[in-house]
Chains A and B, each alone.
Chain A
Amino acid sequence: MSTDVRFVLRRGEHGYPAHLELTPRPPRVLYGLGDPGALRPALAIIGSRKATPYGLDCATTFARCAADAGVPVVSGAAMGCDLAAHRATLDANGTTVAVLGCGADIDYPARARDVLATLREGKGAVVSEFPWGMPPARGHFPARNRIIAGLAYAVLVVEAALPSGTFSTADHALEAGRDVLAVPGSVFFHGSAGCNRLIRQGAAPISCVEDLLDSLAGCGLIEMALRRGEGQGMSGLTPLSPASSDPVLCALLAQPMSPDTLATAPSMDARELLRTVAALEAEGRVARYPDGRYGPCAPR
């Protein structure tokens, strides 16, 4: 038997999040597990399920930053960026809320089981507008995105292709009068096209931790003073990538490449090139992606 605490919040009743009430179409009922107090105004961090390490590292870095600033992180528990954001928030002892497209007691996706269990124990909350036991369905997810946007004062898209489900969340955020933030990506990579498009349409580009803190302060999630005063002590405040003039490093940071593609650019012996890449990897400046290319990653 599960010992998790279930709660049901109805519109107009005590405990229903006020900021969710203010959105155009708030859910009538919100079923939840965990800590209802976690449903404070939050930062939503969302992104592609097929994330590259770049997207995952962005989600991790910015979620950690939000957690350090005391801002809850809300996301959809989907594979890729969403899960990375939940995990990073939990690692930094922050509060995080997962909004599901199925009953809040269902483990979906299966990969998120551990994260959902932690949230249900009270480290955060798992909520859904769908009744207990409802299985996931395709049509549920756009509706779920509406709640993610409603619970957040700002929505940060860390990585998105074109077309992308994150656009529905961004649209809901705009409808509710919330901020949309986006992390820019390579202009040559289709997996980043969605974020770049959002920026072109007016989303605030977030390219460093300070940018995010400014935006969080701008939408009232943190005090301006906090951003100025405590900001310096935050874990994420190192520059995302120290300046370097190494051509191989610069090429890989600009665009992930396989060693052979890289070899056509600078005129360099294959052996030397491989050694350089391996050395950069050992230093944690670049990472090998699951598809075998080397590309940027968060400094460790």
Chain B
Amino acid sequence: MTQAVVASSTIVGVEAIAVEVQVDVSAGLPAFTIVGLGDTAVLEARDRVRAAMRACGYDFPNARVTVNLAPAPVRKHGTGFDLPIALGVLAATGQVPRAATEAVAVGELALDGGVRPVPGLLAHAIAAQRAGRPLLIATEALPVVGAVPNVSTRAVATLSALRHGLPDESSADAPCMRDAGAGPDLAEVRGQPAAKRALEIAASGGLGVLFVGPPGAGKTMLARRLPGILPPLTAEEALQTAVVHSVAGLDVEPVLAGERPFRAPHHTASTAGLVGGGSPPRPGEASLAHNGVLFLDEVPEFSPAALQALRQPLEDGFLTLVRAEGRVRYPARFALVAAMNPCPCGFLGDLQRPCTCPPALVDRYRTRIGGPLMDRIDMTLRVDRIDPRCLLTGGSDEPSVAVRRRVAEARDRAHAREGDSAATSGAALLRACALDTTSRRAVERAARAHRLSGRGVTRLLRVARTIADLDGSDAVTARHILEASCYRAFS
């Protein structure tokens, strides 16, 4: 009876937790069993491992092979256990040196013995880093894990490369930060100065925006340009976001290069699609937009349940899924941009086309966005189709780079004043605004004229504070209040 133990890990939420792959080869009727609560993909490893070992010239033992994935009560998913299982069988039968089992091995096997990458490699790399062990992965996946520092990465292209033990450490360069501004540029949007200004304020203050306008007004075009005026991701933020993308099986290269994610789920998205879920749980669009922008186009068309589920991430910056098999926590701190038509047909208030909606329908359409979401929308603005003449005339609109510089300055100013805990409500916000008699009167006047609720006043102050930051002003003045009152919610 011979045994071998190989380290591996499995994804729970956006983290990889350590799994020990224990292999026992003993005399008896030839059999190959995998225990330890694996899903179908894990159980299918038997056939891949057997074929891959034979293809690489190894012998598959003509004995009773038992594989246990410990800790046994944790449900395990995916094909990442192919490589550690094969390695364990090889080590137990003496076909590779025992030293080869020192690494945390994660990889899928092809029938010809090739090693392939699996989703969530960044999370596995972080787990290996924490465990202080080398990481054994597919060569193909090398560029991805370079972003995780202090991991000794060993890469193999096929199973046969392990014949003489672990390969030497492969150098994986950290992906270089791209020059920001690769995405769509604000200069491509002609006109719409007020909408651009709203985006600038939203980017500076981390505020939620709602664009209301007829089809073709450029709401989506504007929203797409918000990531470009946000400061580029820091290395730490990039890694956080990239891990989520990696777990979801998406390309992490743009994120690691500093590009903020822009997620625009369709309005038919399910609750699970929006905030995560399924079995095994997968991150939803809100988490994929972590440190980036979540754009909800046609927001009244989303299912109320899905919108309601956004409440937790909007308040806490993360979301917790509670399922029978346990809780998982996904990061989800994003800038929210929503867009809607003014009415179901889209032409209410349009000068060229009459609206065909009955008035009661318009009211119902407006109220379909629930309270929790509306509470997080700090600015609302009408966007109209622009005059075609304005499209054709050459002119210079400000590029994203220039706006981004102002946004960064405003953010620095707010950070210098408030530190990490941004003043969002109540006394702290009031203190940050440093109102004098004139500006206090302006707030009172706006509140009375527009019948603002307590929450509405807080929102007004928050927007005004950000406008003052953009203005380079320490105190919020009446001018800032006036501009902020233009962005109040539609009644």
Chain A residues in the interface with B (C-beta under 8 A): 49-50, 79-80, 109, 111, 161, 188-191, 255-261, 263-264, 269-271, 273-275, 277-279, 281-282, 284, 288-293
Contacts and interface: CB of A to CB of B under 8 A. Distances in A.
B482 A282 contact: yes
A265 B452 CA distance: 31
A292 B196 contact: no
A270 B387 contact: no
13 contacts: A79-B359, A258-B213, A260-B191, A260-B192, A260-B386, A270-B197, A271-B483, A274-B194, A274-B197, A275-B479, A278-B482, A290-B490, A292-B381
B348 interface: yes
Interface stretch (B158-166, B247-255, B324-332, B349-357): B349-357
Q: Of B342, B351, B360, B380, which is in contact with the most chain A CB atoms at under 10 Å from its CB?
A: B351
B486 A274 contact: yes
B349 A50 contact: no
B382 interface: yes
Given A189-B351, A264-B386, A291-B348, A284 B449 contact: yes
Interface of B: 191-197, 212-213, 342-343, 348-349, 351, 354-355, 358-360, 362, 380-384, 386-387, 390, 445-446, 449, 479, 482-483, 485-486, 490-491
B491 A264 contact: no
Contact of B359 (A50, A161, A190, A288): A50
Contact of A275 (B383, B387, B483, B491): B483
B482 A279 contact: yes
Contact of A263 (B193, B483, B486): B193
A80 B386 contact: no
A279 B482 CA distance: 6
A269 B471 CA distance: 14
A257 B348 CA distance: 12
Q: Of B197, B362, B479, which is in contact with the most chain A CB atoms at under 10 Å from its CB?
A: B197
Contacts of B362: 290
A281 B194 CA distance: 17
Nearest to A269: B193
Given A289-B349, A292-B382, A282 B192 contact: no
Q: Of A263, A270, A281, A292, which is in contact with the most chain B CB atoms at under 10 Å from its CB?
A: A292
B483 A274 contact: yes
B486 A278 contact: yes
A272 to B, nearest CB: 9
A292 B483 contact: no
Contacts of A269: 193
B349 A292 contact: yes
B191 A264 contact: yes
Contact of A190 (B192, B197, B213, B354): B354
Contacts of A278: 446, 482-483, 485-486
B193 A260 contact: yes
Contacts of A190: 354
Contacts of A111: 360
A251 to B, nearest CB: 13
A143 to B, nearest CB: 21
Nearest to A255: B351
Given A264-B386, A264-B387, A270-B193, A191 B482 contact: no
Contacts of B351: 188-189, 255
Contacts of A290: 348, 362, 490-491
Contacts of B381: 259, 292
B386 A270 contact: no
Given A278-B485, A281-B485, A292 B197 contact: no
Contacts of A293: 349, 382, 384
B198 to A, nearest CB: 9
A196 to B, nearest CB: 15
Given A264-B386, A293-B382, A282 B449 contact: yes
Contact of B382 (A109, A188, A259, A275): A259
A281 B449 CA distance: 8
B482 A258 contact: no
Given A188-B351, A259-B194, A269-B193, 13 more contacts: A49-B358, A79-B360, A189-B351, A258-B349, A258-B382, A260-B384, A264-B386, A270-B193, A278-B482, A282-B446, A282-B482, A289-B349, A291-B343
Given A79-B360, A189-B351, A270 B196 contact: yes
Contacts of A256: 349
A281 B446 CA distance: 9
Contacts of A161: 354
Contacts of B485: 278, 281-282
Q: Of A188, A258, A269, A270, which is in contact with the most chain B CB atoms at under 10 Å from its CB?
A: A258
B355 A50 contact: yes
B308 to A, nearest CB: 25
Given A50-B359, A260-B383, A274-B483, A291 B349 contact: yes
Contacts of B359: 49-50, 79-80
B382 A291 contact: yes
B309 to A, nearest CB: 28
A290 B359 CA distance: 11
A263 B196 CA distance: 12
A259 B331 CA distance: 37
B469 to A, nearest CB: 14
A189 B194 CA distance: 23
Contacts of B383: 258, 260
A50 B357 CA distance: 9
B486 A277 contact: yes
Given A271-B483, A277-B486, A282 B445 contact: yes
Contacts of A49: 358-359
B194 to A, nearest CB: 4
Contacts of B349: 256, 258, 289, 291-293
A71 B194 CA distance: 46
A236 to B, nearest CB: 22
Nearest to A270: B193
